[in-house]
Structure 1
Amino acid sequence: MGQDRPVRGGARAAQRRCGPPPGPLVTRRARERHGAWHDAYGRRELDRLFDTLAKSFSDCTSYEFELRAYDVSGDMAYTVGLEHTSASVDGEPRTYTLRATQTYRREGGEWRVAHRHADRVT
């Protein structure tokens, strides 16, 4: 698997601050987009992105994931939902909703995020 080792560290720190509870890990080939704020591809860029996000987010007062659709087929799955969040971003309190789509791939018996896209609901 070499190229598909899970990304750790920064991703976990960002999740602890605010966001989905720790779950599937992002793989090296994953592409991540956080509410049209940042793009990253590959392990190094993802680590930098999550380190930056971990420093930017604080004081998460609420997070709720509203599942709208999902499906599983073999070793692939997806979820679509709304992420309702109240947190401080760069010291400024914000409340926002992201429309989030994640695809998952089962690797070695574990579900991992293969792709994520989220953008603001306007």
Structure 2
Amino acid sequence: MSEADDFIAWVNSSLRQAEVALHDGDSAPRRALWSRQEPVSILGAWRNAFGQQEVDEAFAVLETAFSNCTSYTFELQAYDVVGDMAYTAGLEHISTSVDGQPRSYTLRVTQVYRREDGEWRVAHRHADTVAE
């Protein structure tokens, strides 16, 4: 497998599982895949965060809001791997409960990754809601 194939396999397995867990109310798998090195940032559909403390706070808020994920798919539209950096751009189609109320929505998401100690880590996420 090529480096790009390995990266996409990680996106479709570990990263996907972490996103499903988050939308089911468990942020631990997502936290485990995020970089512990600065800078880290989120420009989010719900809130922005800059630095480890704010990113951790954002994950805590999301974890308490989400539950009962019934569907999560990531429609990859573009990606690249260059050395120890990579990015993905695509659409997340999600059905989950938000504050106990079932919701389905699509987010347009771009993420930046860096390889740390041989493992991919998320360093930046930008997401916004796609208008219906």
Considering the TM-score relative to the shorter chain, is it more than 0.5?
yes
Cα distance between partner residues in 1 of 2:43 and 2:35: 12
What TM-score do the two structures reach when normalised by structure 1? 0.79
2:9 corresponding residue in structure 1: none
User: Between Structure 1 and Structure 2, which shows a larger proportion of strand residues?
Assistant: 1
Cα distance between partner residues in 2 of 1:53 and 1:26: 18
1:108 corresponding residue in structure 2: 117
Cα distance between partner residues in 1 of 2:113 and 2:19: 19
1:81 is displaced (CA, Å) by 0.7
**Which structure has the higher relative contact order (CA within 8 Å, separation 6+)?**
1
Q: Are 1:117 and 2:122 matched, yes or no?
A: no
Number of residue-to-residue matches in the alignment: 109
1:15 is displaced (CA, Å) by 5.5
Superposed CA offset, 1:1-37 (max 9, x none): xxxxxxxxxxxx8752428x757323342111332x1
Superposed CA offset, 1:92-113 (max 9, x none): 2110000100011111111111
What TM-score do the two structures reach when normalised by structure 2? 0.73
C-alpha RMSD of matched pairs (Å): 2.3
Superposed CA offset, 1:49-93 (max 9, x none): 111110000111100001111111111110011000001111221
Report if aligned partners of 2:75, 2:91 keep a CA contact under 8 Å in 1: yes
Cα distance between partner residues in 2 of 1:49 and 1:17: 12
Map 1:87-102; keep pairs closer than 5 Å: 87-102=96-111
* Deviating 4+ runs (over 6 angstroms): none
Report if aligned partners of 2:71, 2:94 keep a CA contact under 8 Å in 1: yes
**Sequence identity, in percent?**
56
1:32 corresponding residue in structure 2: 42
For 2:48, give the aligned amino acid.
D
Map 1:31-110; keep pairs closer than 5 Å: 31-35=41-45, 37-110=46-119
List runs of 5+ in structure 2 lacking aligned partners. 1-17
User: Between Structure 1 and Structure 2, which shows a larger proportion of helix residues?
Assistant: 2
Cα distance between partner residues in 2 of 1:29 and 1:64: 28
Report if aligned partners of 2:66, 2:97 keep a CA contact under 8 Å in 1: yes
For 1:51, give the aligned amino acid.
A
Report if aligned partners of 1:14, 1:53 keep a CA contact under 8 Å in 2: no
